Amino acid sequence: MNKDRYQVLVSGKEIAIKQEPDKTLLENLEDNKVEIHSHCREGFCGTCRTRLISGEVDYIIDPLAYIDDDEILPCCCKAVSDITIEIN
């Protein structure tokens, strides 16, 4: 089921944030003052590479940067469930 708000748990800092539906996960994290590094904001540089511990995301742009199986690129995806992530 598609809700338009999800809980995003940033481990280490243990803060829960709301995912605004029309923003990328990266933008949502920034709006919530989470320190996350980004360059291209378009999925090709890998700077925003983040570990997804639980939950699911959907890509708006095809990610080109290298990511491991348990990693996501917040600059080009959205949460589609409650998620827990760990920022490098």
Partner 1 sequence: MKYTTFSPVNNDALTEPMFFGNPVNVARYDQQKHAIFEKLIEKQISFFWRPEEVDVSKDRLDFQQLSDSEKHIFISNLKYQTLLDSVQGRSPNIAFLPIISIPELETWVETWSFFETIHSRSYTHILRNLFTDPSEIFSDIVDNQHIKKRAEDISQYYDDLIFYTQIWQTHGLGEHTIQGETYNITMRELKKKLYLCMNSVNALEAIRFYVSFACTFAFAERELMEGNSKIIRLIARDENLHLTSTQHILNLWAKGKDDPEMAEIAEECKEEAAQIFMSAVEQEKQWAHYLFERGSMIGLNQDILCQYVEFIANHRMSAIGLGQPFEVTSNPLPWMNNYLHSDNVQVAPQESEISSYLVGQIDSEVNADDFGDFDL
* Residues of this chain that bind partner 1 (CB under 8 A): 35, 37-42, 44-47, 49, 62, 64-66, 88
Q: Which of 88, 56, 53, 48 is nearest to 70 (CA)?
A: 53
Candidates 7-15, 27-35, 44-52, 54-62 — which segment interacts with ligand FES by CB under 6 A? 44-52
74 Cβ neighbours under 8 A, 6+ residues apart: 24, 25, 26, 29, 36, 48, 50, 85
Cβ 64 to partner 1, closest distance in Å? 6
**Which of partner 1, ligand FES, none sits in contact with 73, Cβ below 5 to 8 A by type?**
ligand FES
